[in-house]
Amino acid sequence: MKKIYKAHILYTKEQNRFEVLENGYIVVEDGCVVDISTDLSALKCSDAEVTDFGNRLLIPAMNDLHVHAPQYRNQGIAMDLELLPWLQNYTFPEEMKYADTAYAERMYRRFVRDLWRFGTMRASVFATIHTESTRLLMHLFQEAGMGALVGKVGMDACCPPKLRESVEEMVKGYESLIMDDGQPTGNHQFPPLVQPIITPRFIPSCTPEMLRACGQLAAKYHLPVQSHLSENKDEIALVRELEPNSTCYGDAYNQYGLFGQTPTVMAHCVWTEGEELELMKRNGVVVAHCPTSNFNVASGMAPIRRFLDEGLHVGLGSDISGGHDLSIFQVMVYAIQVSKMYYQQNHECPFLTLSEAFWLATKSAGSFFGHVGSFEPGYEFDALVIDDSDLNHDNYTLLERLERYIYLGDDRQIVHRFCRGNEIAEPEVS
Amino acid sequence: MKKIYKAHILYTKEQNRFEVLENGYIVVEDGCVVDISTDLSALKCSDAEVTDFGNRLLIPAMNDLHVHAPQYRNQGIAMDLELLPWLQNYTFPEEMKYADTAYAERMYRRFVRDLWRFGTMRASVFATIHTESTRLLMHLFQEAGMGALVGKVGMDACCPPKLRESVEEMVKGYESLIMDDGQPTGNHQFPPLVQPIITPRFIPSCTPEMLRACGQLAAKYHLPVQSHLSENKDEIALVRELEPNSTCYGDAYNQYGLFGQTPTVMAHCVWTEGEELELMKRNGVVVAHCPTSNFNVASGMAPIRRFLDEGLHVGLGSDISGGHDLSIFQVMVYAIQVSKMYYQQNHECPFLTLSEAFWLATKSAGSFFGHVGSFEPGYEFDALVIDDSDLNHDNYTLLERLERYIYLGDDRQIVHRFCRGNEIAEPEVS
């Protein structure tokens, strides 16, 4: 079934510039972009039905490379605590509640609905150690038709006993999620929209046995991996103590097969440099840059320009609830701002441009989910239609309109959302 | 006419803690708070009519200590330009348009309406050099019933010819605004809600004659003063060249009678230290901290903790369009974040707590407008009623609810706005 959508189309094929199609057309078939042009007659399949979005903007949907679903209740509270009391008094007690799948369902439904609200169609998500709540979260994404890599968290050290799981239980739980995994539509053109991702919380929360088992699971089932890396200096010093045979924090993951042996995303990387950076480059490890979180938790400023210059893959993450804002548009704004503050202190590192921030959130982050985040032919059609008329009290260019939407807009202006070619309706909450 | 409002009341009498009145009552008479308590029978005038806001939050309204009204059109665009091309290509061309009062009316109406939307009931505003557009802006604030100090900008150097005005024209224009000034209600208990404020743009845009005339106008008419101070290092070096007889940037203003001789607010103060800081302290000069702008323009991080420790008066400013967000709630979030990043780099300067950020935006900033920003008896009743029910998918304490509103909320949750005791209706746009 072919469809043509008409609108003002903006996307970033390359990091340094926007593609801008005023009154452009995009042909979608079987969930993928087939052709794109401002000339209807030049299109492949120009005879398909045209849906005209008029003066609205059509852009790729957002991708969130790092978010903790069970911390959604704590979004925007206790933001002036230090890391340790915050974990002990807010994060861990909240995660314990997810032993109860009824509580999990109430919260996770709202979480998925709000990802939808802010136009995030793909996310790499931390759940908790609880297998059944994690399974539920996967089902909610499937039900919504939105893409997600969902991680049952591996954790057996340095945390309350109720948040520990033995290595055997962890493996058994994961394998039951993997068996459960599959694509409801039966369409095998794509990988499943929703898949498990191996998720050791971070080195200090895991015994060597837990880390080894995680690496083995990833290898055995060809599953991606996510965790946290080099977020703050105390954490790095602690990892150095815990893993004396590793040359750096990243190397500790690497020794357990958790650093690029399968597709891997590491959140933060605020203090990544030298050997760790080289290892990430060599292994193709992706950075989930979480600037709101880095501000809120006083971690520091990640050297994103350096990462881009070195050719590392980088995407953006909301990191709820270290981050306070689920909107990846707002995370883009912060990514530019943190790069400006970094530039102010290191003039050899130019700050991010708008096209770079947009590319990070779309094509660059989307690559972790497949051919996602661009409108080039062959890409999955993940898209948002933005009605920004209420933001425009004067004449603006299309690029200015997009920039104003990113800086000033919110969920009110997103009027249609597509994931893998399907229009996604508002997920139900209970 | 006495009125009693019932709601969950939160405000900051002191910097370090919130006053929280669950199901509290506040008595308002002639625009001012008369009494406040959780015990209706203990109140003065407990026989007055009670308006019950139920489960909603009642908080002081927001104050914006630094905002450029004619840059409202440029909000959220050209955010990845450097300062100079941004001024030359966006700011100055836009300000020129305000020679046309019809254009000014269209834009200024939207500006005032949007201050209203985000709950800002008092603002210290830069207009342009144009007397008639500035008069119009003052009238729009009066019509709305919102408080404002409105500055016709003094500028006769380093800018396009169309944005220069001779000293004589500036003085004549200002005096015509001063004569026009007055209070429509005829109530003389208070100073006028809307007043002119003497506004030399900043030292580099003014000849010594212009600065001298500004100082003389402020002294002659007992008018407050606003300008920019020590925003970035190049600017400071330029001022040192332009004013070789001054000991610091602040001292240059001081020599012209523009640094605390009448109530004075200076925007930014990112690099203020040493002698300048001492002079501000001695002269009671207020800091308008504009963290969103300081990020967007890559100015640096203002040492707000130091200012507070030294006893300086500090408030918050949106600084549209260097800042991108008109909501002072969002500026609070950024103020905390920039203080955290400052703390991360200077561990002897603890970051701002939520109560401190709230106090900066309410009682501390409000003091520039009179007894504004608190609910202590004698304070003008400037208030917002927040219906945050859509933000609460679980049980939260009242303080957590306020924090969630600040971090996650927007104009949708503000359901009533009061300024000087009057409920303020949505200002009309044309």
**pLDDT 10s digits, B390-407:** 999 899 999 999 999 999
Distance CA A299, CA A306 (A): 18
Sheet strand arrangement including A147-151: A62-68, A120-126, A147-151, A194-196
Yes or no, beta carbons of B408 and A336 under 8 Å apart:
no
Gap from B255 CA to chain A (nearest CA, Å): 31
Yes or no, beta carbons of A299 and B344 under 8 Å apart:
yes
Distance CA B408, CA A287 (A): 26
> Between A73, A296, A336, which is nearest B80 by CB?
A336
Q: Is A76 on the interface with B (CB under 8 A)?
A: yes
Encoded amino acid at A318, one letter: S
Q: Is B393 on the interface with A (CB under 8 A)?
A: yes
**How many helical (H) and strand (E) elements, i.e. helices and strands, does chain B have?**
15, 17
Instruction: Give the per-residue pLDDT at A103.
Output: 98
Yes or no, beta carbons of A341 and B73 under 8 Å apart:
no
Yes or no, beta carbons of A404 and B337 under 8 Å apart:
no
State yes or no: pLDDT of B188 exceeds 70: no
Q: Is A64 helix (H, G, I), strand (E, B) or coil?
A: strand
Distance CA B421, CA B430 (A): 27
Q: Which residues of A touch B403 (CB under 8 A)?
A: 76-79
> Between A73, A80, A351, which is nearest B336 by CB?
A80
State yes or no: pLDDT of B64 exceeds 90: yes
Q: Is B110 on the interface with A (CB under 8 A)?
A: yes
Among chain B residues, CA nearest to A111: B393
Residues 6+ apart with CB under 8 A from A161: none
State yes or no: pLDDT of B262 exceeds 60: yes
Distance CA B232, CA B293 (A): 12
State yes or no: pLDDT of B298 exceeds 70: yes
Is A2-61+374-423's fold the same as A62-369's? no
Domain boundaries, chain A: 2-61+374-423, 62-369
Q: Is A79 on the interface with B (CB under 8 A)?
A: yes
A2-61+374-423: CATH topology is Urease, subunit C; domain 1 (2.30.40)
Instruction: Give the per-residue pLDDT at B182.
Output: 52
Percentage of chain B modeled with pLDDT above 90: 91
Q: Is B337 on the interface with A (CB under 8 A)?
A: yes
| The CATH number of domain B2-60+373-423 is 2.30.40.10 | yes
Chain A to chain B, count of Cβ pairs less than 8 Å apart? Answer: 104
> What integer best gives the mean pLDDT of chain B?
95
Instruction: Give the per-residue pLDDT at A184.
Output: 44
**Which among A64, A268, A71, A255 has a CA at the least distance from the CA of A153?**
A71
Encoded tokens for B50:
């009670």
Gap from B109 CA to chain A (nearest CA, Å): 11
> Between B325, B333, B394, which is nearest A73 by CB?
B394
Instruction: Give the per-residue pLDDT at A317.
Output: 98
Helices B131-144, B167-180: inter-axial angle, 10-degree rounding: 20
Q: Is A108 on the interface with B (CB under 8 A)?
A: no
Yes or no, beta carbons of A333 and B324 under 8 Å apart:
yes
Dump pLDDT digits (tens) for B193-252: 999 999 999 999 999 999 999 999 999 999 999 999 999 999 999 999 999 999 999 999
Yes or no, beta carbons of A76 and B407 under 8 Å apart:
yes
Q: Is B90 on the interface with A (CB under 8 A)?
A: no
Yes or no, beta carbons of B324 and A354 under 8 Å apart:
no
Encoded tokens for A26:
């995009």
What class has domain B62-369?
A: alpha beta
> Which of B17, B72, B80, B340 has the most A C-beta neighbours within 10 Å, making it the best mutation to test the interface with A?
B80
What tens-digit pLDDT sequence spans chain A (430 residues)? 899 999 999 999 999 999 999 999 999 999 999 999 999 999 877 678 999 999 999 999 999 999 999 999 999 999 888 777 888 899 999 999 999 999 999 999 999 999 999 999 999 999 999 999 999 999 999 999 999 999 999 999 999 999 999 999 999 999 999 987 554 444 557 889 999 999 999 999 999 999 999 999 999 999 999 999 999 999 999 999 999 999 999 999 999 999 999 999 999 999 999 999 999 999 999 999 999 999 999 999 999 999 999 999 999 999 999 999 999 999 999 999 999 999 999 999 999 999 999 999 999 999 999 999 999 999 999 999 999 999 998 999 999 999 999 999 999 999 999 999 999 999 999 8
Residue B376 sits at the vertex; the CA angle it makes with B184 and B261, to the nearest 5 degrees, is 60
The four Cα atoms B424, B425, B426, B427 give a dihedral, to 10 degrees, of -80
Yes or no, beta carbons of B300 and A344 under 8 Å apart:
yes
Among chain A residues, CA nearest to B410: A410
Instruction: Give the per-residue pLDDT at B187.
Output: 52
Yes or no, beta carbons of B408 and A344 under 8 Å apart:
no
Instruction: Give the per-residue pLDDT at B300.
Output: 95
Bond from prior residue into A321 cis (ω within 30 degrees of 0): yes
Tell me how far the alpha carbon of residue A422 is from its chain's centroid: 20
Q: Band of the pLDDT at B183, cuts 50, 70, 90?
A: very low
Q: Is A145 helix (H, G, I), strand (E, B) or coil?
A: coil
